[in-house]
């Protein structure tokens, strides 16, 4: 079973498994196929995370997040008057961080796949060469970029048809990208980092004032990390949540799950249940804004943050009858809870609190408008043997920096995920930690949290989402729906969602959220974002515990597609 944002890509994954490939082969093929059929988010010019659980129980997290180039500097987006140039980290060559996707997918295939790179890439090359019919979504999203593409002639040359935007149903061929993919398939990932493709990129960067050099590309390595895990008992079953470590934010979901562990959750039509989840998110996001970053550059009190004793402290700060103002909350001191994670004994009595990250201006962006639904992309794969992959990768926002290379692919704008200026929100309205400021070789903090759940030791749920920080709320809700509320796989994805990220101190509701529940929240003191918006796009697979059947749960909000056999 493959579930992704695009039917053509899900079909590629199923095709690979039909030919005898395993879930990792399929995931790599889907990753390259999305780079062709979903150029707004699928990519070879970006980066991401792949969480793998092999049928033998082994788990591994492949971090192929982008990296700041050697010439990057802490204040590179701060103008001489001390304010942040918010566009420079989002549009154009200086917004681009060293891409990781090609190295990451190739490493996954070599380590856990069974196929040759050329075979896993063949469907993507075919789609680029022969073309595919442009969907309504693709036509609309390309068109929405008109003002950005107008600044970059190569983007216009490749992604418009003789100066006109593609109409739905027209065939879109990408000969430049096909040639690039062919070279990678033939020469391996080093083609992208040290071969002609890398040299082309370095030359374009130099010519256009970007920072990435051939040395930066040659130095890039994906990192294999231990996933984070947390254990829960729900209705007599032992659950394990396996999720994304720093530089991503799986610990935020675990903190929230820990706070919510003893709380009765009824449904999202019950304002009281929604209240508890929002308050858990508010506190976990405040910790994200204080502590999380690339672990090679900072000490993160991760064990403390994920300890159940720390969750007890945070839970006690929640008023069951009242929304907590974000400005006022003080979190505990997670470092003091060190190794107390899941220890059955009594929790240490620690009452010290620490100041959390503060914002220094009132630049609350209208985050419903700032971060739209499309951009990143997540896919989940489970094969017949029980190998599972959850993969989320991104160019950051739609079409990344807006810059396409002459080799036919878009470049990310992942530099905006760094803290350009502590206290100033990024494009998702996020306040980010001091530890996440820009430095050469650093990976920016991410919200992408591919996640896998086990139930009584068996594979149970594979999930992940697109949507910037809303990914965390969307994935958390999918987990709560499946693990705590016992929803079916599709119902777990369809249920209305909501999002709170500490600052701004508002709650984002989905259009399908019940108005009477919203009024109930208002009575508890909540304020809402100015408009409604989707909270992530989730693409998941549930495993029926009785039959073992793989239940593809595609996102209905902007239709994704499940493809299985
Ligand atoms: O890594 C991150 O957290 C962001 N670059 C993800 C961006 C994203 O999901 C955009 N989608 N709305």
The candidate with the shortest Cα–Cα distance to 304, out of 350, 260, 263, 241, is 350
* Encoded tokens for 478: 């999918």
Contact 338, 523 (CB under 8 A): no
Residue 182's Cα: distance from chain center in Å? 28
Separation between Cα atoms, residue 513 and residue 102, nearest integer Å: 39
How many angstroms does the Cα of residue 373 sit away from the middle of ligand 1?
10
Cβ contacts of 7 within 8 Å, gap of 6 or more: 561, 563
pTM above 0.75, yes or no: yes
Atom of ligand 1 nearest to the CA of 471: 9
* CA atoms within 13 Å, Cβ hemisphere of 366: 6
How many angstroms does the Cα of residue 184 sit away from the middle of ligand 1?
26
Separation between Cα atoms, residue 502 and residue 326, nearest integer Å: 6
Residues having CB within 6 Å of any atom of ligand 1: 371, 375-376, 394, 396-397, 414, 417, 446-448, 466-468, 471
Max alpha carbon distance in the chain (Å)?
69
Separation between Cα atoms, residue 422 and residue 434, nearest integer Å: 6
Residue nearest to ligand 1 atom 5, measured at CA: 396
Residue nearest to ligand 1 atom 12, measured at CA: 467
The confidence score (pLDDT) of residue 362 equals: 37
* Encoded tokens for 533: 């918006």
How many angstroms does the Cα of residue 414 sit away from the middle of ligand 1?
9
Contact 65, 98 (CB under 8 A): no
Separation between Cα atoms, residue 244 and residue 241, nearest integer Å: 10
Residue nearest to ligand 1 atom 1, measured at CA: 446
How many angstroms does the Cα of residue 235 sit away from the middle of ligand 1?
34
β-partners of residue 59 are 53
Atom of ligand 1 nearest to the CA of 397: 10
Cβ contacts of 543 within 8 Å, gap of 6 or more: 382, 458, 459, 460, 461, 549, 550, 551
| Residues of the chain below pLDDT 70 | 330-332, 339-344, 350-374
Separation between Cα atoms, residue 265 and residue 278, nearest integer Å: 12
Calculate the alpha carbon distances from 460 to 43, 172, 386, 405, 463 in Å: 28, 38, 10, 41, 10
How many angstroms does the Cα of residue 447 sit away from the middle of ligand 1?
6
Residue 288's Cα: distance from chain center in Å? 15
The confidence score (pLDDT) of residue 370 equals: 43
SS3 label, residue 51: strand
Separation between Cα atoms, residue 33 and residue 35, nearest integer Å: 5
Annotated catalytic residues are 376
The confidence score (pLDDT) of residue 355 equals: 59
Helical spans, DSSP H, in 3-152 = 7-18, 23-37, 101-112, 117-130, 136-143, 146-149
Length of the chain: 565
The confidence score (pLDDT) of residue 72 equals: 98
Pocket test for ligand 1, best of 253, 447, 558 (most atoms within 8 A of CB): 447
Helices (H) and strands (E) in the chain, counts: 19, 21
């Amino acid at each position: 079973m493959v579930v992704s944002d695009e039917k053509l890509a899900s079909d590629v994954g199923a095709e690979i498994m039909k030919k005898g490939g395993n879930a990792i082969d399929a995931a790599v093929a889907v990753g390259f196929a999305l780079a062709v059929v979903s150029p707004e988010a699928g990519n070879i010019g970006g980066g991401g995370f792949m969480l793998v659980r092999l049928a033998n129980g082994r788990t591994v997290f492949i971090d192929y997040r982008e990296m700041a180039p050697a010439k990057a500097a802490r204040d590179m987006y701060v103008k001489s008057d001390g304010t942040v140039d918010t566009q420079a980290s989002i549009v154009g060559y200086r917004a681009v961080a060293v891409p990781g996707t090609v190295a990451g997918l190739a490493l996954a295939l070599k380590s856990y796949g069974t196929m040759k790179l050329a075979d896993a890439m063949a469907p993507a090359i075919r789609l680029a060469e022969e073309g595919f019919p442009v969907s309504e979504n693709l036509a609309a999203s390309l068109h929405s970029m008109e003002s950005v593409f107008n600044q970059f002639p190569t983007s216009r040359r490749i992604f418009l048809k003789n100066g006109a935007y593609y109409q739905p149903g027209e065939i879109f061929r990408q000969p430049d990208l096909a040639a690039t993919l062919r070279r990678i398939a033939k020469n391996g990932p080093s083609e992208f980092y040290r071969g002609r493709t890398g040299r082309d990129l370095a030359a374009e960067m130099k010519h256009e004032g970007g920072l990435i050099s051939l040395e930066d590309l040659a130095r890039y390595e994906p990192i294999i990390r231990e996933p984070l895990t947390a254990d829960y008992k729900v209705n007599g079953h032992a659950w394990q949540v396996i999720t994304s470590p720093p530089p991503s934010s799986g610990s935020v979901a675990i903190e929230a799950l820990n706070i919510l562990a003893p709380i009765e959750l009824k449904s999202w039509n019950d304002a009281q249940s929604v209240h508890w989840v929002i308050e858990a998110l508010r506190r976990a996001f405040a910790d994200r804004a204080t502590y999380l970053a690339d672990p090679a550059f900072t000490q993160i009190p991760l064990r403390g943050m994920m300890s159940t004793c720390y969750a007890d402290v945070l839970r006690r700060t929640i008023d069951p009858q009242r929304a907590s103002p974000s400005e006022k909350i003080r979190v505990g001191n997670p470092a003091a809870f060190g190794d107390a994670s899941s220890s059955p004994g009594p929790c240490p009595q620690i009452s010290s609190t620490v100041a959390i990250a503060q914002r220094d201006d009132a630049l609350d962006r209208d985050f419903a408008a700032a971060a739209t639904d499309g951009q990143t992309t997540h896919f989940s794969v489970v094969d017949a043997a029980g190998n599972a992959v959850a993969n989320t990768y991104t160019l950051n926002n739609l079409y990344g920096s807006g810059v396409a290379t002459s080799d036919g692919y878009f470049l990310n704008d992942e530099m905006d995920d760094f803290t350009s200026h502590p206290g100033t929100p990024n494009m998702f309205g996020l306040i980010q930690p001091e530890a996440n400021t820009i430095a050469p070789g650093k990976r920016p903090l991410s919200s992408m949290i591919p996640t896998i759940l086990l139930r009584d030791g068996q594979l149970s749920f594979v999930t992940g989402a697109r949507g910037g920080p809303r990914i965390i709320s969307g994935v958390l809700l999918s987990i709560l729906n499946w693990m705590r509320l016992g929803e079916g796989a599709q119902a777990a994805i369809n249920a209305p969602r909501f999002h709170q990220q500490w600052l701004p101190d508002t709650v984002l509701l989905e259009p399908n959220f019940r108005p009477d529940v919203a009024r109930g929240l208002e009575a508890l003191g909540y304020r809402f974002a100015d408009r409604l918006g989707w909270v992530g796009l989730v693409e998941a697979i549930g495993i029926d515990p009785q039959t073992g059947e793989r239940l593809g749960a595609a996102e209905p909000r902007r239709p994704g597609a499940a493809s299985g056999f």
